[in-house]
Chain A
Amino acid sequence: MTAPDARYPDRLPPAFTRPGSSSFVDFLRSHAPDLLPGAGPAPQSPVSTPHATTIVALTYEGGMVMAGDRRATAGSAIAHRQIEKVFAADEYSVIGIAGTAGVAVELVRLFQLELEHYEKIEGTLLSLQGKANRLGSMVRGNLPMALQGLVALPLFGGYDHREHTGRIFSYDVVGGRYDEHDYHSIGSGAVYAKGSLKKVWHPGLDAEDAVRVALHALMDAADDDSATGGPDARRGIYPIVVRVDATGQERIADEQLATLAAEIDALPERSREV
């Protein structure tokens, strides 16, 4: 193969026509490993980079909702006010990220492409479980960086067409994948968000209430965690809330979130008047 390749440098290299794999990550690993996230040596000393924070996810009757605030911090400073941390992974699943923003965003980009690549090559969607497993192995690939403090963890959720429910998966740094029931939260404000979810989430929520509960949990986290940004009506910055059900996914409009945020803000337990 070397002679024709030398004479036809523009010919597609053998890696492109090699059959057998529907994975873009595997293709990158064999053809252009330098393009994989985390390629090259991990930094030897701690680096200060923007951190993305709280993500909440919960299931409801026939789907799931994921919401993320818009703040990124670097140390005690606010690095970004409008960062996006919740993304559509494909038509029926969403991914939210917490931790080192740069690493996490790259992970999401590759994961989205991985799902699309599989869909185009196989002509069919991966099962939700398959997507979750795939993400686990990609998280594991970031372990060398994570050991140097550049941790990025996803929260993954979507609609499972086989079980007809919304499902949520969380991960640890070594790629361990955990099925979460009912609701889950990751990031610096997760403790407060989970406390809130424990009280306001209940089985059999409908789609609209599910969005309200997710927003409520985020606002509770923002109340107590300095790295989590609440809804900012003055600047018009609202969390990103995505809902997934059997028909696909939908990002909740800012106007609707503004109304809900105002309602939640007006609840008696949130006002500090005695």
Chain B
Amino acid sequence: MTQPFYVSPEQLMKDRADFARKGIARGRSVVVLGYDEGIAFVTENPSGALHKISEIYDRIGFAAVGKYNEFENLRVAGVRYADLRGYSYDREDVNARGLANAYAQTLGAVFTTESKPLEVELAVAEVGADQDSDQLYRLAYDGSVADEPGFVVMGGAADKLAERVRARWTPGMSLPEVLALAVQVLSGTGKDARTIETTNLEAAVLDRTRTRRTFRRLSVHTLTELLDQAPAQPPEQAEEASQPPAEGTDAANGTASSPDHP
């Protein structure tokens, strides 16, 4: 009879975290940015049918990176959660905080109890009456929640991209400005820079000027028009190379320290 090897809980959690991070880092990043009249979601997604961004409820949007089948499952659960809540109380009583909580509990429970953690990272956004009352939550594979002010970047190379967004994003930017910023950030810099075709972008907004259902997908046509309206982007300072790679800082659990991008 063989004795099972002893694995310390630290090692077990670290292995799971590393596994989840690797899965997430394989996906293309998603950028969620607040602007003066709402919240914009942008990602690179060649598929027009398999969405990474979607509507949850009147004022709540959802974005995800990682394994499609896993986040699609969570997205459907979120829609059911929100619709059930709105049906049994009122449409006004559905909020992003409750949803983020339910997601966090689910991700956390799967991370600790099941054989494989979910390889997903989620963003839940709720548009408010003004930019100060917008809510943005970022949920990691282990159930940790971060309440992010203003913007969220997820996916492979998230830390690096977040740094670049942080340097340029300010409250009160217009929709064309944040879209141009998102596209520039997603396109990479330096020797990794490339051009992303507008047809390969998936973009949507939660538009606070709309009543009831505020979520709206931006068609290729609309997106092209909006990007044309944006003022020319100032070239980014070439201080990328001098920055230390931000390692192991994105997840609030602090268990893992491997870089989450190749």
A residues sitting closer than 8 Å to B (CB atoms) are 3-4, 7-8, 10-12, 15-17, 19, 24, 27-28, 31-32, 35, 109-110, 113, 116-117, 120-121, 123
CA distance A15 to B106 in the complex (A): 13
- Which B residues are in CB contact (< 8 Å) with A19? 73, 76
Q: Assuming A7-B113, A8-B109, A120-B56, is B77 touching A24 (CB within 8 A)? A: no
Chain B residue, CB-CB nearest to A110: B87
6 A-B contacts (beta carbon < 8 Å): A4-B109, A11-B102, A17-B74, A27-B80, A32-B84, A120-B83
With both chains docked as a complex, state the minimum distance between the C-beta of A19 and any C-beta of chain B, in angstroms. 7
With both chains docked as a complex, state the minimum distance between the C-beta of B196 and any C-beta of chain A, in angstroms. 22
CA distance A274 to B81 in the complex (A): 65
Chain B residue, CB-CB nearest to A19: B73
- Which A residues are in CB contact (< 8 Å) with B76? 16-17, 19, 121
- A120 in contact with B105 (CB, 8 Å): no
- Which A residues are in CB contact (< 8 Å) with B54? 120, 123
CA distance A232 to B171 in the complex (A): 50
Name the interface residues of B71-117: CB closer than 8 Å to any CB of A: 73-74, 76-77, 79-81, 83-84, 86-88, 101-103, 105-106, 108-109, 113-114
- A113 in contact with B87 (CB, 8 Å): yes
The yes or no answer to B51 lying at the interface (CB within 8 A) is yes
- A121 in contact with B102 (CB, 8 Å): no
Chain A residue, CB-CB nearest to B113: A4
CA distance A116 to B86 in the complex (A): 12
- Which A residues are in CB contact (< 8 Å) with B207? none
- A8 in contact with B108 (CB, 8 Å): yes
Residue total for B at the interface (Cβ-Cβ under 8 A): 27
With both chains docked as a complex, state the minimum distance between the C-beta of B91 and any C-beta of chain A, in angstroms. 10
- A17 in contact with B77 (CB, 8 Å): yes
B109 interface neighbour in A11, A28, A109, Cβ under 8 Å? A11
- Which A residues are in CB contact (< 8 Å) with B80? 15-16, 24, 27, 31, 117
The yes or no answer to B134 lying at the interface (CB within 8 A) is no
CA distance A109 to B83 in the complex (A): 12
- A121 in contact with B79 (CB, 8 Å): yes
A24 interface neighbour in B49, B56, B83, Cβ under 8 Å? B83
B residues sitting closer than 8 Å to A (CB atoms) are 49, 51, 54-56, 73-74, 76-77, 79-81, 83-84, 86-88, 101-103, 105-106, 108-109, 113-114, 213
- Give the top 7 A-B pairs by smallest Cβ distance, nearest first: A8-B109, A16-B77, A10-B105, A11-B109, A4-B113, A12-B106, A11-B105
CA distance A19 to B80 in the complex (A): 11
Question: Known pairs A10-B101, A121-B79. 16 more at Cβ < 8 A?
Answer: A7-B113, A10-B102, A11-B106, A12-B81, A12-B102, A16-B81, A17-B74, A32-B88, A35-B84, A35-B88, A117-B79, A120-B79, A120-B83, A121-B76, A123-B49, A123-B51
- Which A residues are in CB contact (< 8 Å) with B87? 24, 28, 35, 109-110, 113
- Which B residues are in CB contact (< 8 Å) with A4? 109, 113-114
With both chains docked as a complex, state the minimum distance between the C-beta of B77 and any C-beta of chain A, in angstroms. 4
- Which A residues are in CB contact (< 8 Å) with B105? 8, 10-12
Q: Assuming A24-B83, A113-B87, is B77 touching A12 (CB within 8 A)? A: yes
- B102 in contact with A113 (CB, 8 Å): no
CA distance A12 to B82 in the complex (A): 12
CA distance A16 to B80 in the complex (A): 6
With both chains docked as a complex, state the minimum distance between the C-beta of A103 and any C-beta of chain B, in angstroms. 16
Chain A residue, CB-CB nearest to B49: A123
- Which A residues are in CB contact (< 8 Å) with B81? 12, 16
- Which B residues are in CB contact (< 8 Å) with A15? 80
With both chains docked as a complex, state the minimum distance between the C-beta of A68 and any C-beta of chain B, in angstroms. 21
- Which B residues are in CB contact (< 8 Å) with A16? 76-77, 80-81
CA distance A10 to B109 in the complex (A): 9
CA distance A120 to B75 in the complex (A): 10
CA distance A110 to B49 in the complex (A): 27
- Which A residues are in CB contact (< 8 Å) with B79? 117, 120-121
With both chains docked as a complex, state the minimum distance between the C-beta of A72 and any C-beta of chain B, in angstroms. 22
CA distance A31 to B56 in the complex (A): 19
With both chains docked as a complex, state the minimum distance between the C-beta of B63 and any C-beta of chain A, in angstroms. 15
Q: Assuming A19-B73, A123-B51, is B84 touching A28 (CB within 8 A)? A: yes
With both chains docked as a complex, state the minimum distance between the C-beta of A269 and any C-beta of chain B, in angstroms. 42
Chain B residue, CB-CB nearest to A124: B49
- Which B residues are in CB contact (< 8 Å) with A11? 102, 105-106, 109
Q: Assuming A8-B105, A120-B79, is B113 touching A27 (CB within 8 A)? A: no
